[in-house]
Amino acid sequence: MNIVLLDALTLGDSDLSVFNNLGELTVFQTTDAQQTSERLAGQEVAITNKVVITAQHMADNPQLKLICISATGTNNVDLVAAEQAGIEVKNVSGYSTESVSQSTFSLLFQLIHQSRYYDQYIADKQWCDSPVFTHIERPFYELKGKRWGIVAMGSIGQRVAELATAFGCDVCYYSTSGKNTQQSIPKVSLETLLSECDVISIHAPFNAQTENLIGAKQLKQLKAGAVIMNLGRGGIIDEEAMAEALETQDIYHATDVLAVEPMLSNHPYLSLKASHRLVVTPHTAWASVEARQCLLEKVVENINGYVAVN
C-alpha cells in the first residue's frame, strides 16, 4: 500500500516509524496547492493535517482510496466529492484534551503572574541593583475564589472545568450550540459569563454560531481585570476589536489561534503599546509530545481499520 504524508512539518519531531508496517511511506515536509495533485499520484492513502484536498485532486487521482486527516477538523477535504468518488475520509479526535487543557493554564499563568516581566527584570540584572530582597512591580493574583467562565463544554472544556475547580474557582459555562447541558456546572448566557467572570476560556469550534462571537460589543462587557483566552479556533474573537480593547480597557488576552495562520506581519497584536496584556502562541496548544504520539496512533488505527474491511 502506497501512503503519502503531505505535511509532516506540522507534526514536529514525531516518530513516523509507526507507519513502517503499513506500506510504502512517502513523506513531504510541506505541500502547496500546486504540488498536491502530483504528490497524490500513485498513492492509495493520503495523510494530511492542513493540506487542502479538493474534488479536482480526487478526480486526478482515481487510485486514492483513503484520506486520513491528522486532526479533528475536516474542512480541508471536500467531503461531498470524496463520498461521490468512493474515498473514505477519517479524522481523529480526543487526542489533545490534556495538552490543550494544560496549555490553557500555561497561558493564564503567564498573564496573571506577569512572568515575562519578572523574567526580563532578572535578565536585565535589575534585581542585582535592588535595595530590598523582593520586587513586586507587577501585581499577581490567586485563582481561588475567582469565577471562571468556559465557552463550549466539550471534552476540553470539561477538563478545564475540573482543573479550575481544583484551584478553587467557581465555574460556569456558555453553550455555543445551545444544546449542551452539564447538570453539575451552571449554564449561563454569554452576557452573564462575560460580565461576571474573572477568567474566560474559549474551547469552541469555528462555525456559524461562533464566528466573531466576541466582538467590540462583547468585549465592553468584560469586568475590569478580566482575562479572556482563546484555545478554540481563530475567527471566534474579532482581533481588531480585541487589539483596541487591550489598549483602552483593563483586560488581558491570551490566544493560541488566529483567524489567519501563520500570523500576518501587519497583525494589530504586533504593534500593541499594552503588550504586557497579551500572550500569543503559534497554534501549539494541541501539540504536546504525548498528544502527537496519540494522534499518530489514531491515524494508524484508521488505516488499519480501512485495510480490515477492504
Active-site residue identified among 24, 261, 290, 297? 261
Active-site residue identified among 39, 57, 283, 292? 283
Tell me the chain's radius of gyration from C-alpha atoms: 22
Distance CA 146, CA 163 (A): 13
Name every residue whose Cβ is closer than 8 Å to that of residue 256 and which is 6 or more positions away in sequence.
103, 107, 230, 231, 280, 281, 282, 283, 284, 285
Is the link from the previous residue into 262 a cis peptide, with omega within 30 of 0? yes
State yes or no: is 147 an active-site residue.
no
Active-site residue identified among 233, 253, 277, 292? 233
State yes or no: is 83 an active-site residue.
no
State yes or no: is 196 an active-site residue.
no
Distance CA 109, CA 226 (A): 13
Q: Catalytic residues, which ones? A: 233, 261, 283
